[in-house]
Amino acid sequence: MYSILTINSIAEKGLENFRKDDIPYSADAKDYDAIILRSKDIHEMEQPESLLAVARAGAGYNNIPVDKMSEKGIVVFNTPGANANAVKELTIGGLILASRKIAEGIIWAKDLKGDVASQVEDGKKAFVGPELIGKTLGVIGLGAIGAMVANTAIDLGMDVLGYDPFIDIDAAWHLSAAIGHETDLKALVAKSDYISIHVPVNDSTTGMINADFLAGAKDGVRIVNFARGELVNEDDLIAALECGKVAAYVSDFPSEKLLAAKNTTMVPHLGASTPESEENCAIMAAKQLVAYLKYGNIVNSVNFPNTVMPYTGKTRIAIVNSNVPSMISKITTTFADEGINIDNMVNRSRGDLAYTLIDVDSFGDNGEELLKALRAVDGIVRVRLVQKA
């Protein structure tokens, strides 16, 4: 029997998926096999040897030590697209906030007393800002959220340019034909009146909005960031805000420095904070965990390849191994040596890791010896008996 540790508040509709399969879950679980969480940072959290998988109910996963998990053969899932509409809506709101000085005006108006109408007419000129229609929006990253932002901006009358060297076919199908495709990031930055960024944080993107990036932008560019705060070099951005190179910066990731900077609007990380988004993320994360625990199938992993093999009721074994030559041969030879016939098999690789699902005709008396022999093979990281017929 598997058990799941819940961290953060997980939407009830997500937890229903564990109850349907009689998988116990608890915020106090010990020696658990899986974790489902939202934004809680678990980099320093000690994990039991029993841990098989971690599911992030959300798209970002920098709160999880993915490299450490990979070394141990632990699958990390996220839920791309589940909160896309929520973040898209807030990003569009961010574009408007970057233009119209709405937040500043609201704060100013709250202190008005007496003849409020006259004060409003006299003071509103301080909050004048441009309309979005006819302006050029550069969207960096055209995944689920970026594509939705780009399409909506077209509907608002903006000219939209998109940049994403890693765009997949599914994402491309969802893009409006009116969106221009830029293959050079510098060209997109130079042409954009507004820039919205939608990329994950990694070694190549951390601090990408820096002095060099901003130097190539139009004077008075307006930037919205509802992806991750680490994408921005704060000192470089603040310098650009001070001199007017950047007219406005709206972000979902406040920091002490940015809160004190001029022409910034800091939203308190509300991107996915809608009941619909939290439910969608929880449901997707829970279903992915159940599919992995029960059948070994992997969908939407950030460190393992998508690997799905329909379950037909036979004994199933899952193997995590280094992605090096001759590993498949070693695995199949081990089965043959133990006299166990392979009925069906799928192998997928991603980077330094590979994942194999194998169904066998009969586990028999040699089954436990097979598992022991597999674990002894050089290059095999983890072996799990998923289902026993």
Among 104, 230, 269, 348, the active-site one is 269
Cα–Cα distance measured from residue 389 to residue 67, given in angstroms and rounded to the nearest whole number:
34
Which residue from 37, 18, 17, 19 is spatially nearest to 27, judged by alpha carbons? 37
Q: Are residues 13 and 156 in the same domain?
A: no
At residue 196, the pLDDT reads: 98
Cα–Cα distance measured from residue 72 to residue 3, given in angstroms and rounded to the nearest whole number:
19
Among 44, 46, 49, 256, the active-site one is 256
At residue 365, the pLDDT reads: 78
Is 181 catalytic? The answer is no
Measured between alpha carbons, how far apart are the two ends of the chain, in Å? 15
- 26-72 confidence digits (pLDDT tens): 999 999 999 999 989 999 999 999 999 999 998 889 899 999 999 99
Which residue from 125, 72, 157 is spatially nearest to 383, judged by alpha carbons? 72
DSSP 213-233: HHHTSPTTEEEEE-S-GGGB-
Is 256 catalytic? The answer is yes
Contact 78, 289 (CB under 8 A): no
Q: Are residues 296 and 347 in the same domain?
A: no
Number of domains in the chain: 3
Give the β-pairing of 380-387 and 264-266.
unpaired
Q: Are residues 61 and 133 in the same domain?
A: no
Name the amino acid, one letter, at 115. Answer: D
Two structure tokens written together for 68: 């450490």
Contact 34, 265 (CB under 8 A): no
Is 43 catalytic? The answer is no
- 232-259 confidence digits (pLDDT tens): 999 999 999 999 999 999 999 999 999 9
Containing H/E element for 280?
helix 275-295
Among 38, 198, 222, 228, the active-site one is 228
Q: Are residues 155 and 261 in the same domain?
A: yes
Instruction: Give the CATH number for residue 348.
Output: 3.30.70.260
Q: Are residues 119 and 249 in the same domain?
A: yes
Containing H/E element for 387?
strand 380-387
Q: Are residues 114 and 262 in the same domain?
A: yes
374-to-328, 348, 359, 377 alpha-carbon distances in Å: 12, 18, 15, 5
Of the candidates 236, 266, 296, which is a domain's last residue?
A: 266
**Which parts of the chain register pLDDT below 50?**
none
Q: Are residues 151 and 216 in the same domain?
A: yes
Residue numbers of the domain that contains 363: 309-389
At residue 169, the pLDDT reads: 77
